[in-house]
A and B are shown apart, each in its own frame.
Chain A
């Protein structure tokens, strides 16, 4: 040992010629595209947000081109047909929020289920049935509206619990469970209500609490209803819970790989039950939002039949992976807003409403393609 000391450690002498960098991840240096891919991978709600901003600006520029020309001095007020903003008006922009509130809240429930690699076809039907229950309990059985709402919420949670049990314990595929549940709930809705509307005026006179979420505040010409506020608050709460609580991480883990989650000590059954029950609860909450928006209790509301597809559309456009375990719940909200912007914007631009559906079809396919591309992120 001592012999070698004076000569210094010979092998160290080559050190100066060698690479001195410490261990690190490979940098593929693919430039902008690669960095974009990484950025989107870690911020899954950015894609829908970008699409939302671009589509809002695009449609607004088209619809309000004349007032914009006037404002920027490109034309004089006398030269244009319409000098006032129609799309970029507080009234219109707040209207979009009001129009998406039902689908928006349903999409939050749908997101929870899809994050666990499931799908829920019954969301809209549960919402409509629960609204009928809230109305019937109040008007046919004379219950105070407060308790009708509580029971309605409990009923929705109960339906969620049944679906959750069938998925998690009986191991039936979520698609099948909720396909059946959709039919059962929707038929029960029609049978129970005999498809008879409870009129807005009757509700207003004897149970205004049912319409509570329809209460609106005006900011200038913008109108925001409590239902919209509830949608935004609920989305933020869920976003926090999914990102920063143990429960939220469990939901992602179960969706990504249930076996790995189980091995890591996550109670998969309990997590799935909690997700389906919470989704059922949110659907029942949508019922309350619906009564607020329509004023009436309407068993024939289109949401019963279309709510599932509309919410899945919002979730998919919102960049949440149908394979589970990835995506941000705020994305679903952006997804719902994108659809809302297109629907109203294209209508105002004078296009046939079929164009809206055609465009949304493209958006769905584009969104899933982008999702697949982001999933391939490497390094």
Chain B
């Protein structure tokens, strides 16, 4: 009996405590950040940027993440939590860009501002705004750079593309097709990887965006054709894996590897000559701009506008290389190092 009283008392005080917490939280605007995972340095950096900006503006940031990439259910739960929590806005990098639309519609109906970060939703106008890297442009820049660097040899290039996943997510397609366009290859369907008929393309394989996959994919393609001399990679870890595969057969110095992302190890790899050039994106900026947009929405009811000529707000991309090519704008590795994330 005594124990029961004690338990009840503890329960009551816990309730009182959480109620006071909720009241304290009620004074500031809450913004939710929902990422694909909370382990990828890209999202870690995004969370850092959002947290810092929220603190600066006196807002409360609540971060949620899927357990693994592709974990749709956890994201839906997070959206429901945010609505129930009375948040003013949701910043989300969606795992399933089409399926997430319905739960996000509920959030918008409940008066929340929904901003897609990094990954556009399907359809893109399912979010109030999209703050993202122009992934096609990111691909285009490295494609143009590779073509200009090879010069006349570009006409006989042997190209391999190391992509992300078999399901061909949007970012994968945009980077791949941007690269091919930049290199001067006819895309056929720009929404599809692998339907090009240009004989310079040896083939493509998927990497899961890590070193392990990058090495395996490069090996597979080298087994198909050992004369490959231009390699497009979905991101820098995949590029590092591809480099190891090339090194194993002594070809690391006569193959041009290009990539996208701009993480610190990746930029360092550009410096060391592992990667020829990489397109750098800015997750920190995406997140802090997103938090500012939610603040503006909460205070004045103003929604952010997309960049002129695009259906999303472009947070910028820059080509990082120490071997600038004529006609392709780029920044040096040193500048890239100052801006890198992860």
Contact = CB atoms under 8 A, between A and B. Distances in A.
Interface of A: 86, 91-92, 95, 98-99, 102, 190, 194-197, 199-201, 216, 223, 290, 293-296, 298-303, 305, 344, 347-348, 352-354
B49 interface: no
A200 B41 contact: no
Instruction: State the main secondary structure of chain A at its contact with B.
Output: helix
B182 interface: no
A95 B223 contact: yes
Interface string B173-216: 00000000000000000000000000000000110111111011
B166 A194 contact: no
Contacts of A194: 39, 41, 44
Interface stretch (B20-28, B52-60, B265-273): B265-273
B248 A197 contact: no
B208 A302 contact: yes
A200 B272 CA distance: 11
Interface in B94-135: none
Contact of A197 (B206, B223, B226, B265): B265
Contacts of B40: 195, 300
A223 B249 CA distance: 9
29 contacts: A86-B223, A86-B224, A91-B226, A98-B248, A195-B39, A195-B40, A196-B265, A197-B265, A199-B268, A199-B269, A200-B244, A201-B274, A223-B249, A293-B244, A294-B211, A294-B240, A295-B211, A295-B240, A296-B240, A298-B210, A300-B40, A301-B210, A301-B211, A301-B212, A302-B210, A302-B212, A348-B223, A353-B205, A354-B166
Given A98-B219, A199-B269, 6 more contacts: A98-B248, A190-B39, A195-B40, A295-B240, A300-B237, A347-B205
Nearest to A294: B211
Interface in B25-46: 39-41, 44
B74 interface: no
Contacts of B39: 190, 194-195, 299-300
B210 A295 contact: no
Interface residues of B, number: 35
Q: Kindly name the residue among B208, B209, B219 whose own CB sees the greatest number of chain A CB atoms within 10 A.
A: B219
A354 to B, nearest CB: 7
B212 A298 contact: yes
Give the top 9 A-B pairs by smallest Cβ distance, nearest first.
A190-B39, A298-B211, A294-B211, A295-B244, A301-B212, A195-B39, A300-B210, A347-B220, A201-B272
B274 to A, nearest CB: 7
Interface string B126-148: 00000000000000000000000
Nearest to B272: A201
B41 A95 contact: no
Contacts of B206: 353
Contacts of B269: 199, 201
A290 B205 CA distance: 21
Interface in B234-259: 237, 240-241, 243-244, 247-249
Contacts of B44: 194-195
A200 B211 CA distance: 10
Contacts of A196: 41, 265, 342
Given A199-B268, A216-B248, A295-B240, A344 B211 contact: no
Interface string B221-236: 0011010000000000
Given A199-B268, A303-B212, A344-B220, A223 B248 contact: yes
Q: Kindly name the residue among B205, B206, B223, B274 whose own CB sees the greatest number of chain A CB atoms within 10 A.
A: B223
A91 B223 contact: yes
B127 to A, nearest CB: 26
B74 to A, nearest CB: 14
B274 A294 contact: no
Contacts of B241: 294
Nearest to B237: A197
